[in-house]
Chain A
Amino acid sequence: DAGITQSPRHKVTETGTPVTLRCHQTENHRYMYWYRQDPGHGLRLIHYSYGVKDTDKGEVSDGYSVSRSKTEDFLLTLESATSSQTSVYFCAISESTSGRDTAQYFGPGTRLTVL
């Protein structure tokens, strides 16, 4: 995993509680992404960041918020967890948007269960 860590790796929580997932990179890449992966849906983009304090929504952003106060950290918050947010969450990074650097590199994932 290209210098990307995610924490926690596993979490079980109850409906209605807030949850924060952390992604930390040591590659100094500008772009960071949060995905969720579910059977039958594949990888879906939740939010992404194109710089410190610069974020935007992906295709499944409802119920999620993000923050990026440092280049290396990208936080994903489930404001009030629901059972439909049970999923595996992946963080990804990319260096640029041109050429070879457009490829994204993924972290190991966080397995979240909402009861």
Chain B
Amino acid sequence: QKEVEQDPGPLSVPEGAIVSLNCTYSNSAFQYFMWYRQYSRKGPELLMYTYSSGNKEDGRFTAQVDKSSKYISLFIRDSQPSDSATYLCATNSGGSNYKLTFGKGTLLTVNP
């Protein structure tokens, strides 16, 4: 079993839709969770960061972590064509283990 699983999509939604992106992970030691956004032919850009379980909101974006089910989500409200990108989840356990484990990414297209 891979440490982080992410549905690759592609996911296509109309403008204004609520988007839900998800990852599951297997290592219970993971406690730091990140979402990156990557536009075509660009580097990944840190979008959201959360620690342990709970929700974090930033504008139209909400990151949610459920450690009991090892499930992490990113919600995008009122999606815009500019949100079209690949979204990658990432996690690590911190401390001396600073290696990030990435999902393979979900390609999202928001249609005008």
Q: Which residues of A approach B to under 8 Å, CB–CB?
A: 1, 31, 40-43, 45, 48, 50, 58, 90, 94, 97-100, 102-109, 111
Contacts and interface: CB of A to CB of B under 8 A. Distances in A.
A97 B99 CA distance: 9
B94 A97 contact: yes
A90 B51 contact: no
Q: How large is the interface on B (under 10, 10 to 19, 20 to 34, 35 or more residues)?
A: 20 to 34
The 10 residue pairs across chains A and B that have the minimum distance between CB atoms: A42-B104, A106-B43, A97-B98, A43-B102, A106-B44, A108-B43, A102-B32, A109-B43, A103-B49, A102-B94
Interface string B30-42: 0010101000011
Contacts of A31: 98
A97 B95 CA distance: 5
Contacts of B44: 43, 90, 106
B97 interface: yes
Nearest to A109: B43
Interface of B: 32, 34, 36, 41-46, 49, 51, 88, 90, 92, 94-100, 102-105
Given A42-B88, A42-B105, A98 B43 contact: no
15 contacts: A42-B104, A43-B88, A48-B98, A58-B99, A94-B98, A97-B94, A97-B97, A98-B95, A100-B49, A103-B49, A104-B100, A105-B46, A107-B43, A108-B42, A109-B43
B110 to A, nearest CB: 22
Contacts of A111: 41
Nearest to A58: B99
